[in-house]
Structure 1
C-alpha cells in the first residue's frame, strides 16, 4: 500500500477493510505500507497498525535494490517490484507550480530512487513510470484522501479551510481503479474552490496527456466515466447518523447534462428554500421557500437559470437552507 501521502487513519481503514472483504484469504503480514517522505511523521507506527497482535510491515523509505529501472536513471522500489497488488494512497493537494496538482499520478514521485522524477524528466517521465507494468498492471485501487486537502500551494502545505464546503473541508474519499479519473475529479474539486475565490484554475495538462497514447492510463472524459457516489445521507433511514436535521443528499445523475434530481431531508416538517450558484457565487436559480414534510423530498433542476436559459458546463453549488441551518452539494454539468 503506497506511496502513502496521508494520515495513518485512512490507510488503517484500507487495511481493516481488506481484512473484512478477504477474511481468511488475507495475510496481514504480507502487507507492505510505504512512502518516501512523510510516513514517519503521519502516525504510521506499530501501535496504530496493531491488529490483535498481527501487524503489516511499515517502511519509511522506498528500499531500492530491485535493479529494475522503469525509466532511465530511476530504480523502482522493491515494494512495487515485488508486489502482487498495489493500492496508491495520495492526498488531495494543489501545488506551488501554477498549473499543477499533486494527486495519484504524481504520488509515484517517491516510488523510485532517486525521487526526482518530475524535476529531472517532467510529465513524460512521470507518465512513463505510471505506465510501467509493475505499477499499471498491479494497481488494484487508488484511494485519494480528500478528507481535508489543499487547493493552494504545496507540497508540504498544512490542510486548508475550504469555503466551498459548509464543514470547511471536502470530507471525501475518492476510490478508483484509474489514476486519470481520480486526478480529473481532484482537479475539478480544487478548481471549484479556486474559482470561488477568484483565483486562476489548475490546468494540469498531464491528466489529458496520460489518458492519450502512448500512455493510455485511464479516462479523462467525464461522460465516459462510471461515477458512483456514496453518501451516508442517502443511506436507509435506519442507518443515518445524526445530521442536525437538515441534509442535501447526493443528486442523480451527477455529472448531468440535461437535468438532475436533488434530494433533501428534513428531520421534521418545516420550511426550506433551495438555490443554485455558479463557482463565482452568482445566483443562478432559486426554488422558493416552501413547506416540506419530514424525511426525503425530491426537487428537479432542468439545468436552466432564472431566465430559462441553459447554463454552461461546469461546477455549480446547490444550497439548502432552513432557518439558520444550511447544507450544500457540488453539482457537475457536462456538455
Structure 2
C-alpha cells in the first residue's frame, strides 16, 4: 500500500536490520493454564510500553460521525495514518513486513485474525471504516509461505450490538472477502476462560488465533469509571450480564473488576497482538452512545493552528495498558487535568500492578507509568518523536529531562519535558532566547504529569515569525531549569 504523505526515512531503522531485530523479539505463543493469573505482559505484547500516537488534521469533516462517505483523499489519508503508525511502531518501512513483525512465528496463511470493533447502537461513534480498512489492507500485505495473508481469514466482529453496520461503512464493498460478524454470539466453555470462571465469550474469538482490538475515544457513566475505551471494548467479546450488577467471579463484584478480569486473563489476554484506537471522532458523555464532543483543546496540543474539533487520532501499541493510558490522557488533556498513574481509572491501575481498590489480584499485564514508556508520535504526516532511548532512560519520577523535535525546527518545535512528581500541578515557565540571551517568547503552563508538552510555532512575543538561526529553549520547573539549543529554519 502506498503512502501519499511520506515520513522521513531517517527516523526509522533500516528495513533489513529492523526485520532481523523484530524476528528476534517476537516470541512463540506460550499457553496459559485455566487457573493461572498473569503476573507479566502477555507473550504477544512484544513491546511493553511502546506506543505510537498519530494525529492528522487533513481530513474533511462530515455532517455526522456515522457518515460513511468522504472523498478519496480522506480514505487515502486515513489509510496512510495506519501505514505510518505501524511503520513507526515496528521501525520497518515495508508495510506488510511491519504488520508481520507484531505476530509470532506461528502465523500462517491458515491462521485466523479477529478484529474487535465497538459499535453497539446506531448512535454509537464507531471506529472509522477507512481506518479499519487500512489495518485490513496492511494484514493482506503480509507475505507468508503459501502467499499473502488472505482476506477470508480476517473476521471483524462485535456482540451485544443492534447497530446497522452498513450505516457505519462496514460493508462487503469496503471489506471484500472479509468476514463481517455484526451480531457475534457467546458460548461458555468449561475451563477455557482463565481462572476456571467459565464466563461465556465470543465464538469468533474462540475460533481465531489472534486478536486486534480497535476501540474509540468514548465516555461512560461513573460505575464504569467514565470510560468506554479499549478495555470496555470487550463488552461484545463478553456478555453484558455483569454490566451493572457486578461480576460474581470478581472481587469486589463490580464493573471495574469485570473490566480488569476480562482483559487480564483468558482469551483476550492470550490472543491480543495489538490495540489500535481509531478515533476520528470521540466523546466524553455519560453514555457510550452519546454524540460527538469537541476535542479542540487536545487537538491544539498537537497542532496549535487547527480549528478542527475532532480528536483525529490513532493510538497504536502491542501493550493494551499503555494504549488505554494514552486514550485516557487524550481526554485529560482536553480538560487540562493531570494524568499521573494515580489519575488513571482503577481497572487500569489494577491491570498494571498498581495499588488501587481492585488490586487484590496480582495482574501486571502492561506499562502504565509514562516514565517507562517508549513514546512515538506523528503529527500531520511528520514524525515529531521517533522514540529516544536517552530521553526514556532519563525518565524517572524524581528526575527531569527535555527534548525538542524536530531540530532543526520547521515550522513548529514540540518541546517535551519530563517533570518529577513533586512538581505536578505546579507551573512551568518555557522561554525561547536568542544567542544574545534576549527572551523572544515565553509561556507559563501547568505541569499535568510526568511527560508534558509545549508547542512553539516559531514566532516571537509579537506574533511575528522569528529570524532563522540558533535559539535556546529553557524550561523552569521551579526546582530545576532545563535547557536545549535548537535551530529555526
Query: Residues of 1 paired with 2:366 and 2:246: CA distance?
Result: 24
Aligned-partner Cα distance in 2 for 1:39–1:319:
44
Shift of 1:73: 7.0
Q: Match for 2:336 among 177, 195, 213?
A: 195
Output one character per residue of 1:155-194: Cα deviation in whole Å (capped at 9) or x when no partner: 1122222222223233221111111111111111111111
Q: Secondary structure at the match of 2:401?
A: coil
Aligned residue-pair number = 286
User: CA distance change for structure 1 residues 135 and 312 in 2, over 3 Å: closer, same or farther?
Assistant: closer
TM superposition outliers: structure 1 runs of 4+ over 6 Å? 272-276
Q: 1:94 aligns with which of 211, 219, 231?
A: 219
Query: What's the C-alpha RMSD, in Å, of the aligned pairs?
Result: 3.9
User: 1:57 Cα shift?
Assistant: 0.7
Provide Cα deviations, 1:63-89, integer angstroms capped at 9, x if missing partner.
Answer: 224635637574111111111000011
| Partner residue, 2:283 | 150
Q: Distance in 1 between matches of 2:446 and 2:292?
A: 36
Q: Counterpart of 1:297?
A: none
Q: 1:39, CA displacement in angstroms? A: 6.4
Cα drift, residue 43 of structure 1: 1.7
In the alignment, structure 1 residue 259 sits paired with structure 2 residue 396: no
Does 1:215 find its partner at 2:359? no
What is the Cα deviation at residue 202 of structure 1? 6.3
Q: TM-score if structure 2 supplies the norm length?
A: 0.50
1:159 equivalent among 267, 292, 307: 292
Q: CA deviation at 1:154?
A: 3.2
Query: What is the TM-score normalised by the length of structure 1?
Result: 0.71
Residue in 1 aligned with 2:182?
A: 60
Distance 1:114 1:185, change over 3 A: closer
Q: Give 1:20's aligned residue.
A: 141
1:35 equivalent in structure 2: 158
Residues 115 and 141 (structure 1), Cα distance of their counterparts in 2 relative to 1, 3 Å cut = farther
Find the aligned partners of 1:128 and 1:184 in 2 and give their Cα distance. 17
Instruction: Name which of 45, 55, 63 aligns with 2:171.
Output: 45
Determine if the alignment matches structure 1 residue 3 to structure 2 residue 126: no
* Cα distance change on mapping 1:77 and 1:233 into 2, 3 Å: closer
C-alpha separation between the residues in 2 aligned to 1:225 and 1:233? 22
| Relative contact order, higher structure (CA 8 A, sep 6+) | 2
